[in-house]
């Protein structure tokens, strides 16, 4: 019996799995985010190595329980796949230092959701979490990553972008320069401030956060809820943000596929924002290709990539 390890490493969490030679998951490990641009290179490497060591130990335990004898853990792992956020060269260099984990390969963290959307065939996926990106496989088999610029530079349709837009509109409402909606009270509540807090007090709360991207992205679920309840400002905000991501995806698809092929292009929507019924319906109404919501989590995409490797 042999095993493979798959890692989905993002800025928010590091999710890992151990699969047996039949492709069945036999162990899992979840750690904190490991994007080196956020956590720092040393911490990112430490998080991933700890996760790999944990799964290798679990492989030894699983082997012993099933065979009644011990085995050297370093011989049990035949392949390790790292699907990682952050700079590619960092993970490639780390992979070269890993021993006892079989053949170690690295790829972008977009590959698992692309796999879920297209099953290795030409097509694309729109993904939204704290950030957003578009990933695509062209007819010639080449894989492309587009967007994912990060919260400082703007990821349309992302949790951060929804939160940022809601915060900007809510602050203008508190100043009295925009018509009142439920967004003004929302940004106050999210900051745990009472109804007397003015826009300056609310602004200071968000500027003083050590992780403003996470705090602001945390507004997204409430903004989606208001949009679904037909708060006009929240509804328009969600459509504007996610619509920009769709426009970008159409541009990517038009570049990689001929215009005549667009109606037949396989396209997936990944993440709780894009698979929300309101968002899915709005995007599907004007997309030149069918948009299929992805219900599986990215770690399932990692498992499928491991099986195909």
Q: What is the pLDDT of residues 271-280, one digit of tens each?
A: 999 999 999 9
**Phi, psi torsion values for 85, nearest 5 degrees:** -85, 155
Say yes or no: do domains 3-109 and 119-295 share a fold.
yes
Q: Of 92, 84, 97, which is closest to residue 305 (Cα–Cα)? A: 84
Alpha helices in the chain (DSSP H): 36-39, 41-67, 73-76, 88-97, 111-118, 159-175, 183-190, 199-207, 212-217, 220-228, 232-256, 277-284, 298-308
Q: Residue 114 in contact with residue 269, Cβ under 8 Å?
A: no
Per the prediction, the chain carries an average pLDDT of 94
User: How many Cβ atoms from other residues are within 10 Å of residue 101's Cβ?
Assistant: 23
Kindly state the average pLDDT of the residues 70-77.
87
The per-residue pLDDT for 38 is: 83
Task: State what percent of residues in the chain have pLDDT above 90.
Answer: 83
3-state percent helix, strand, coil for the chain, nearest multiple of 5: 50, 20, 30
pLDDT higher than threshold 90 for residue 199 = yes
Integer Cα distance of 95 and 197 in angstroms? 50
Kindly state the average pLDDT of the residues 34-57.
94
The band of 71, judged by pLDDT with boundaries at 50, 70 and 90, is confident
pLDDT in tens, 257-308: 988 889 999 999 999 999 999 999 999 999 999 999 999 999 999 999 998 8
The per-residue pLDDT for 15 is: 96
Q: Residue 101 in contact with residue 52, Cβ under 8 Å?
A: yes
Q: Which two tokens stand for residue 227?
A: 């949009």
* Dihedral of the alpha carbons of 95, 306, 43, 270, in degrees to the nearest 10: 130
Q: Residue 95 in contact with residue 20, Cβ under 8 Å?
A: no
Who's near 207: CB < 8 A, 6+ residues apart? none
pTM: 0.88
pLDDT higher than threshold 90 for residue 67 = no
The per-residue pLDDT for 232 is: 97
What 44-49 contacts at long range (C-beta under 8 Å, 24+ apart), as own/partner pairs, is 44/9, 44/86, 44/90, 45/94, 47/9, 47/14, 48/7, 48/9, 48/14, 48/82, 48/84, 48/94, 49/98
Residue-range domain boundaries for the chain: 3-109, 119-295
The per-residue pLDDT for 37 is: 84
Superfamily of domain 119-295: ATPase, nucleotide binding domain (3.30.420.40)
**Phi, psi torsion values for 118, nearest 5 degrees:** -120, -10
The band of 106, judged by pLDDT with boundaries at 50, 70 and 90, is very high
pLDDT in tens, 143-190: 999 998 888 888 999 999 999 999 999 999 999 999 999 999 999 999
Q: Residue 280 in contact with residue 293, Cβ under 8 Å?
A: yes
Report the interhelical angle of 159-175 vs 220-228 (nearest 10°): 70
pLDDT higher than threshold 90 for residue 105 = yes
pLDDT in tens, 207-230: 999 888 889 999 999 999 999 999
The per-residue pLDDT for 301 is: 96
What topology is assigned to 3-109 in CATH? Nucleotidyltransferase; domain 5 (3.30.420)
């Amino acid at each position: 019996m042999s095993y493979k390890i798959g890692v989905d490493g993002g800025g928010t969490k590091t999710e890992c799995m151990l699969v047996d030679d039949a492709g069945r998951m036999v162990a899992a490990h979840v750690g904190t985010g490991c994007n080196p641009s956020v956590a720092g290179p040393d911490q990112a490497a430490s998080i991933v190595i700890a996760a790999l060591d944990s799964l290798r130990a679990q492989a030894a335990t699983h082997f012993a329980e099933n065979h009644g004898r011990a085995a050297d853990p370093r011989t049990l792992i035949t392949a390790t796949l790292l699907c990682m956020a952050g700079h590619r060269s960092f993970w490639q260099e780390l992979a070269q230092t890993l021993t006892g984990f079989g053949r170690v390969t690295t790829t972008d963290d977009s590959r698992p959701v692309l796999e879920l959307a297209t099953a290795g065939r030409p097509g694309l996926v729109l993904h939204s979490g704290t950030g957003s990106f578009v990933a695509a496989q062209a007819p010639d088999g080449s894989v492309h990553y587009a967007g994912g610029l990060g919260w400082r530079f703007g990821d349309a349709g992302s949790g951060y972008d929804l939160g940022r837009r809601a915060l900007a509109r809510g602050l203008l409402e508190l100043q009295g320069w925009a018509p009142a909606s439920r967004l003004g009270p929302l940004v106050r509540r999210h900051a745990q401030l009472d109804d007397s807090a003015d826009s300056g007090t609310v602004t200071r709360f968000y500027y003083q956060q050590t992780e403003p991207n996470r705090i602001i992205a945390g507004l997204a679920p409430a903004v989606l809820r208001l949009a679904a309840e037909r708060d006009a400002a929240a509804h328009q905000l969600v459509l504007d943000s996610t619509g920009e991501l769709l426009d970008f995806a159409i541009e990517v698809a038009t570049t990689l596929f001929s215009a005549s092929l667009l109606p037949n292009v396989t396209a997936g929507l990944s993440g709780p924002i894009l698979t929300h019924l309101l968002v899915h319906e709005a995007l599907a109404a004007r997309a030149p290709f069918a948009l299929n919501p992805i219900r599986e989590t990215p770690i399932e995409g990692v498992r499928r990539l491991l099986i195909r490797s």
